[in-house]
């Protein structure tokens, strides 16, 4: 019974911390705010996580562990390149649709502490070098046109992320602040991104 209670409390803390961190970022968040969001006292919060940095690291690992399987779709699958790209875009956009505040949060933290993000990626086994090597093999086989593989990765990630990161502005400017219309646009982006990337690289 105690273990179940402990696990439930830790889950409540992580959920609360994710909400507050995404809203306010690392620097703007206070431990008391996380405790209030979780419905516990600050002493109990410190029992589970000694300080804000430890809790922040736990949140980042939790978030990126959800992204990691999508990234490995590229490097570990034996499917044709077109299929791997389509699966990656579909899953990545679906993840962003469920976590729409995440891109803004990540952009803030990239500027605040990029070294921490790099360390987190490495600890989760995310290695861009494997992705680049896979692309180079596709180029050598004549399946896709030759290009800097970093360009392709940036293009895919940028096309997926930007509409979410710029949502507050684009929803007003392009969709008259119509939330449903903009959400429909984001869903349609899955098809748009796949077609755009494949048309630009397939020989």
Task: Tell me the average confidence (pLDDT) per consecutive run of 10 residues in the chain, 203 residues long.
Answer: 60 91 88 95 92 87 72 77 90 89 83 85 81 91 93 93 93 96 96 96 90
Per-position DSSP letters for 79-124, written without gaps between them:
S-HHHHHHHHHHHHHHHHHHSTTHHHHHHHHHHH-HHHHHHHHHHT
Using alpha carbons, select from 186, 135, 158, 156 the residue that is nearest to residue 89: 156
pLDDT of residue 116: 83
Dihedral angle, C-alpha 78, 117, 50, 67, nearest 10 ° = -30
Q: How far is CA 122 from CA 58, 64, 127, 136, in A?
A: 15, 11, 7, 21
13: helix, coil or strand?
Answer: helix
Cα gap 27→155, rounded to integer Å:
30
Residues 146 and 46 in one domain: no
pLDDT of residue 121: 80
Query: Of 50, 67, 89, which one is at a domain's C-terminal end?
Result: 50
pLDDT of residue 130: 85
pLDDT of residue 145: 94
Cα gap 83→46, rounded to integer Å:
46
pLDDT of residue 64: 74
pLDDT of residue 70: 65
The count of structural domains within the chain is: 2
pLDDT of residue 5: 47
Residues 40 and 70 in one domain: no
Handedness of CA 182, 187, 190, 196 (dihedral sign): negative
Residues 21 and 93 in one domain: no
pLDDT of residue 69: 64
Q: Which domain holds residue 23?
A: 1-50
Residues 35 and 126 in one domain: no
Residues 12 and 40 in one domain: yes
Q: Which residues contact 158 (CB under 8 A, 6 or more apart)?
A: none
* Neighbouring-strand partners of residue 144: 202
Residues 61 and 44 in one domain: no
């Amino acid at each position: 019974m105690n273990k179940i209670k402990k696990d439930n409390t830790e889950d409540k803390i992580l959920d609360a911390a994710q909400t507050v961190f995404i809203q306010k970022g690392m620097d703007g968040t206070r431990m008391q705010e996380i405790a209030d969001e979780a419905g516990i006292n600050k002493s109990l919060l410190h029992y589970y996580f000694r300080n804000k940095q430890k809790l922040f690291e736990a949140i980042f690992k939790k978030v990126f562990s959800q992204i990691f399987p999508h990234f490995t779709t590229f490097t570990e699958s034996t499917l044709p390149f077109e299929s791997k790209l389509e699966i990656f875009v579909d899953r990545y956009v679906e993840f962003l649709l469920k976590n729409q505040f995440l891109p803004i949060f990540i952009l803030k933290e990239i500027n605040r502490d990029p070294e921490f993000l790099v360390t987190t990626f490495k600890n989760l086994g995310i290695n861009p070098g494997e992705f680049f090597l896979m692309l180079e093999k596709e180029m050598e086989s004549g399946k896709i046109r030759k290009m800097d593989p970093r360009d392709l990765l940036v293009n895919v990630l940028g096309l997926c992320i930007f509409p979410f990161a710029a949502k507050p502005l684009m929803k007003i400017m392009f969709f008259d602040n119509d939330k449903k219309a903009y959400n429909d646009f984001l869903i349609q982006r899955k098809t748009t991104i796949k077609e755009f990337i494949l048309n630009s690289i397939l020989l």
